[in-house]
């Protein structure tokens, strides 16, 4: 199964670090909340893990 | 904010062939036992067998196969992880009255289904979530619970007065002693629900069907409906000037048979505030069926049939419903908190002819599947269905007209 980045929406407060760290698959909407645009491919696994650890709200997980 | 279709003060419950048979004898435990007998004891294999062989689906809206949910609970359950059974009677959808109808007329059938399942699963607790917005139904369930003497504990909870309070994760939160609001679901309730335990959570009507099945078996159940979809379903019908009514219909019943002929030609909202608009031509072709209706893009959902009639503009009503749904967001998920009011505003602009569909669709895309619960998704379903099913009603407003009311209908504030 492909790995996906999932957002814990009630936890997310639109700090935007995920977009800074993982712009390949995270855009921001007009309110600053992440839009996940694709799966976590093998070459992005390291950056995705960094984004998960860096989120100040602990609102990201890689699942699958 | 008051819902644009109010919670009913009273409802009319029509006698039906199965769930609603014998309602004239009243809701007492004595009347129930004389009609249906004592709660039969089944093991988990026998329970799985009866619910799966008739293809019982959840009646809370998603139509998920009950047997699959039960199987997931059984897979996870063990001596150290006793499962929990939950009856969700919160019914936060104002246009729905079916769970109230069961609470008022057939509470013991609902509870029997849950208790028989709890015994089969070796669960020790049945949690019953009462509606916060419907005091008579809540009181009727409390009276029924007080009459009973079961081998499992029945524990009452009262849902918050909020549209999203009945979402399954929100219900698990309530039972776990936290605010009655949705949270992110990393695992289904069946695997990890109340207190992390495997949780068999279903809507009150689903439990009433389980009650019928454990009391009378599959042959009796198959006397109604079709071979592919045996049994019956409850419909909540709201029409202009009439007390909201609840009808028990067999699967494959013509949808138009529950509506007065005077409404012919007017669009109908099927599935409630999270449902879909349908033209009268579509309604006239519908038969009550989960896959049959799904194929026409009009989900049966929890069986809400709201027919506002010829004099109501479906766009204006959709605007009022979207305003209400935006006000009912739990306010925890950014896309829903920000997106639903923006979506409602964009719809207001379509209504007064100053805005277009592009902004509505842009916002719909931004909120859908971006929340802990299905509230944004359901709101988007409603909004998109208006544009898909009733494009003429929408485009009339771009030139200051209205198909339903002729001159511009003004919004009641």
Report pLDDT for B81: 86
Residues B313-348 as b/e (b if ≥16 CB within 10 A, e otherwise) read bbbbbbbbbbbbbbbbbbebbbbbbbbbbbbbbbbb
Report pLDDT for B412: 44
- Name every residue whose Cβ is closer than 8 Å to that of residue B234 and which is 6 or more positions away in sequence: B16, B19, B20, B59, B98, B101, B102, B205, B246, B247, B248, B249, B303
Q: Which domains does chain B have, with CATH numbers?
A: 15-221 (3.40.50.11540), 237-306 (no CATH), 314-398 (1.20.1440.230)
Residue B413 has pLDDT above 70, yes or no: no
Torsion sign, CA atoms B56, B59, B64, B66: negative
| Interchain contact, A10 vs B184, CB within 8 Å | yes
Residue of B nearest to A29 (CA): B366
Beta pairing, strands B304-306 & B268-270: antiparallel
| Interchain contact, A9 vs B339, CB within 8 Å | no
Mean pLDDT of B65-69: 97
Report pLDDT for B296: 93
- From B181, B184, B338, residue closest to A31, measured CB to CB: B338
| Number of residues in chain A | 64
Mean pLDDT of B219-248: 97
Residue B250 has pLDDT above 80, yes or no: yes
Mean pLDDT of B389-412: 81
Report pLDDT for B406: 72
Count how many pairs of residues, chain A against chain B, have C-beta atoms within 8 Å.
Answer: 43
**Span A9-20, pLDDT tens digits:** 999 999 999 999
Sheet holding B276-278, edge to edge: B12-13, B245-250, B232-238, B304-306, B268-270, B276-278
Mean pLDDT of B327-347: 97
B27 touches chain A (CB under 8 A): no
Q: Which domains does chain A have, with CATH numbers?
A: 4-63 (3.30.70.20)
Q: Please tell me whether the interface predicted TM-score (ipTM) of this complex is above 0.90.
A: yes
Interface test with B, best of A9, A35, A36 (most B CBs within 10 A): A9
B336 touches chain A (CB under 8 A): yes
CA angle B403, B299, B303 (to 5 degrees): 90
The DSSP string of B231-270 is: SEEEEEEE-TTS--EEEEEETT-BGGGGS-GGGTTS-EEE
When the pLDDT of each residue in chain B is averaged and rounded to a whole number, the result is 95
A58 touches chain B (CB under 8 A): no
Question: Which residues of chain A lie closer than 8 angstroms to B338, CB-CB?
Answer: 30-31, 33
Residue B171 has pLDDT above 80, yes or no: yes
Mean pLDDT of B192-205: 95
Report pLDDT for B409: 46
- From B182, B330, B335, residue closest to A33, measured CB to CB: B335
Other beta carbons less than 10 A from residue B264's beta carbon: 12
Question: At what angle are helices B391-398 and B334-351 packed, to 10 degrees?
Answer: 70
Report pLDDT for B78: 75
């Amino acid at each position: 199964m492909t790995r996906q980045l999932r957002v814990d929406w009630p936890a997310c407060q639109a700090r935007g670090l995920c977009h800074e760290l993982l712009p390949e698959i995270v855009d921001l909407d007009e309110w600053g909340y992440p839009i996940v645009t694709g799966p976590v491919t093998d070459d992005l696994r390291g950056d995705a893990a960094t984004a998960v650890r860096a989120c100040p709200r602990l609102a990201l997980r890689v699942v699958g | 904010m008051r819902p644009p279709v109010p919670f009913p003060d009273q409802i009319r419950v029509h006698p039906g062939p199965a769930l609603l048979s014998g309602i004239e004898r009243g809701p007492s435990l004595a009347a129930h036992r004389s009609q249906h007998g004592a709660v039969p004891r089944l093991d988990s294999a026998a329970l799985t067998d009866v619910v799966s062989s008739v293809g019982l689906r959840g009646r809370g809206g998603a139509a998920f196969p009950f047997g699959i949910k039960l199987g997931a609970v059984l897979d996870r359950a063990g001596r150290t992880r006793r499962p929990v059974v939950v009856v969700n009677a919160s019914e936060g959808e104002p246009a729905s009255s079916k769970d109230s109808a069961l609470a008022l007329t057939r509470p013991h059938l609902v509870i029997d289904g849950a208790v028989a399942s709890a015994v089969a699963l070796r669960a020790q607790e049945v949690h019953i979530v009462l509606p916060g917005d419907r005091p008579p139904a809540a009181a009727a369930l409390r009276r029924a619970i007080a009459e009973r003497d079961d081998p499992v504990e029945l524990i009452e909870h009262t849902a918050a007065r909020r549209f999203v309070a009945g979402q399954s994760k929100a219900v698990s939160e309530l039972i776990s002693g936290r605010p009655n609001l949705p949270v992110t679901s990393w695992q289904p309730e069946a695997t990890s629900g109340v207190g992390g335990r495997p949780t068999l959570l279903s809507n009150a009507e689903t439990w009433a069907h389980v009650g019928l099945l454990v009391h009378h078996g599959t042959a009796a159940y198959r006397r109604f409906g079709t071979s592919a979809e045996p049994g019956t379903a409850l419909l909540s019908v709201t029409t202009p000037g009439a007390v909201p009514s609840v009808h028990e219909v067999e699967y494959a019943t013509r949808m138009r048979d529950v509506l007065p002929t005077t409404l012919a030609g007017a669009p109908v909202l099927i599935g409630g505030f999270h449902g879909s608009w349908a033209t009268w031509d579509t309604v006239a072709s519908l038969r009550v069926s989960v896959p049959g209706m799904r194929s026409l893009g009009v989900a049966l959902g929890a069986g809400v049939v709201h027919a506002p009639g010829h004099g109501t503009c479906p766009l204006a009503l959709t605007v009022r419903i979207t305003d209400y749904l935006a006000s009912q967001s739990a306010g925890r998920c950014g896309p829903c908190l920000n997106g639903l009011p923006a979506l409602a505003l964009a719809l207001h602009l379509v209504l007064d002819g100053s805005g277009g569909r592009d902004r509505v669709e842009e916002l719909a895309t931004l909120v859908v599947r971006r929340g802990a619960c299905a509230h944004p998704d359901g709101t988007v379903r409603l909004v998109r269905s208006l544009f898909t099913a009733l494009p003429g009603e929408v485009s009339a407003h771009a030139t200051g007209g209205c198909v339903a009311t002729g001159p511009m209908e003004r919004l009641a504030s």
